[in-house]
Chains A and B, each alone.
Chain A
Amino acid sequence: MDTFISLVSGLCLLSGCVLAISSGIGLLRFPDFYTRMHAVGVSDTLVTALILIGLMLQLPDGIVVTKLVIILLMTLFINPTASHALAKAAIQSGLVPILNKEDEGKGEDTPSKT
């Protein structure tokens, strides 16, 4: 049972790391603001959730798990809200997805809602 739990926790942490790094690469490599926003906004919450769950499984101790759950809940609230506000502010400021991108105009798709 113990090895199983540690295995699951390790798996969670590892997949969280892979996702985090992929979102970091997306943040760096994507051509325009909205695609970057997509890369970060989608993966960020999931990464946080995965890593925090992985940590919860590491140390099944009352208060620590409670705190982690609180952090997880807050992240679930805060991250999408922040992404939403950011995307909305960007649209309202007139930042059009196609504009001003010298990179072959790749980001022509509709702005991603996160």
Chain B
Amino acid sequence: MLLGVYGLLSASFFVAMDAVDVAFTEASVGAGISTILMLTTIAITGRSELASHYRPTLALILVLIIGGLLIYGTMDMPYFGFAEAPANLHVSPRYIHDSMQEIGVPNLVTAVLASYRGFDTFGEVVVIFTAGVGVVVLLGLPGRRDENDAEIELINTSMHEQHLVVRIVSKVLIPFILLFAFYVQFHGDFGPGGGFQAGVIFASAIILYALLFGLSTARRIINQPLVQLLSGVGVLVYGSVGLVSMLNGGNFLDYSVLSSDPIAGQHLGILLIELGVGCTVASVMVIIFFKFADRKEALHYKPRETK
């Protein structure tokens, strides 16, 4: 839980560092989803903990030595905020100066993310998708447990009866969160935001709903196979934009050929791949959460049987 604070703190740090987009992501990820996942795991595995700090002195010595070496290594690094640092010299000036003419998107981060380094981002999306598949494989339940659904629901309602105020306020808030996620998704060209952040916010809204109204209610609304399909569709959209631009005679993920006007093509391409990214991220997060929560409920209400 204090890890959640940590997420918040590092996000405010990123704000101070001018990294608006990064702060945005860290805000939605570090504070929300990662805390929730950690808690679910703790709920599954139990809070008991052995106080077995074995060989802490050895570890401490090792850590101190490595830390000392690293600090020694930083002596030659460029000073903080130094404009002529090597990291700021090679490709970045080009991104900063030319992207307005070449891509026409005010948010440089989006321009670099989606267009200049689109291939990287494609890789990242595939990694996220793969992680989602991995979680499904690891935590997929062996069989459906329809017979327990009614009972679980009963427990759920009794457990959530007490949160009446929270439920009503959330009912009002959730549409706004979803709307805001779409704003972030499509406003990513002009302000901080984009597919990654929007996906996480969208998933958070659904998770909030599932937490307050019970898993089975949420499962009735959010069709699991559909979500799993969507996570694949996102990757496919991204890849096929690249293929279409290849078919039109450009390079893979070179959006300038998508339209007669290169800048309009870039806009279209960025919009499409951000959509793909948002789709994948949102559905993978939802899938991961549902799998974890399923596991927890199965363990919670039917102990000794899953072993």
Contacts and interface: CB of A to CB of B under 8 A. Distances in A.
Q: Taking the complex as a whole, does A directly touch B, i.e. does some CB pair lie under 8 Å apart?
A: yes
Interface of A: 74, 77-78, 81, 84-85, 88, 92
Nearest to B169: A81
Contact of A81 (B162, B166, B176): B166
Contacts of B172: 77
Interface in B152-186: 162-163, 165-166, 169, 172-173, 176
Nearest to B173: A77
Given A74-B176, A88-B162, A92-B162, 5 more contacts: A74-B173, A77-B173, A78-B169, A81-B165, A85-B163
Contacts of B162: 88, 92
B173 A85 contact: no
Interface residues of B, number: 8
Query: Which are the 3 A-B pairs with shortest beta-carbon distances?
Result: A81-B169, A85-B166, A84-B165
Contacts of B169: 77-78, 81
A85 B162 CA distance: 9
Contacts of B173: 74, 77-78
B163 to A, nearest CB: 6
18 contacts: A74-B173, A74-B176, A77-B169, A77-B172, A77-B173, A78-B169, A78-B173, A81-B165, A81-B166, A81-B169, A84-B165, A84-B166, A85-B163, A85-B165, A85-B166, A88-B162, A88-B163, A92-B162
B184 to A, nearest CB: 13
Nearest to B165: A84
Nearest to A84: B165
A81 B170 CA distance: 9
From B169, B172, B173, B176, residue with most partner A Cβ within 10 Å: B169
A88 to B, nearest CB: 6
Contacts of B163: 85, 88
A111 to B, nearest CB: 15
A85 to B, nearest CB: 5
A81 B166 CA distance: 6
A81 B165 CA distance: 7
Contacts of B165: 81, 84-85
Nearest to A85: B166
A86 to B, nearest CB: 10
A76 to B, nearest CB: 11
A77 B169 CA distance: 7
A79 B186 CA distance: 28
Nearest to A88: B162
Contacts of A84: 165-166
Contacts of A85: 163, 165-166
Nearest to A73: B176
A22 to B, nearest CB: 22
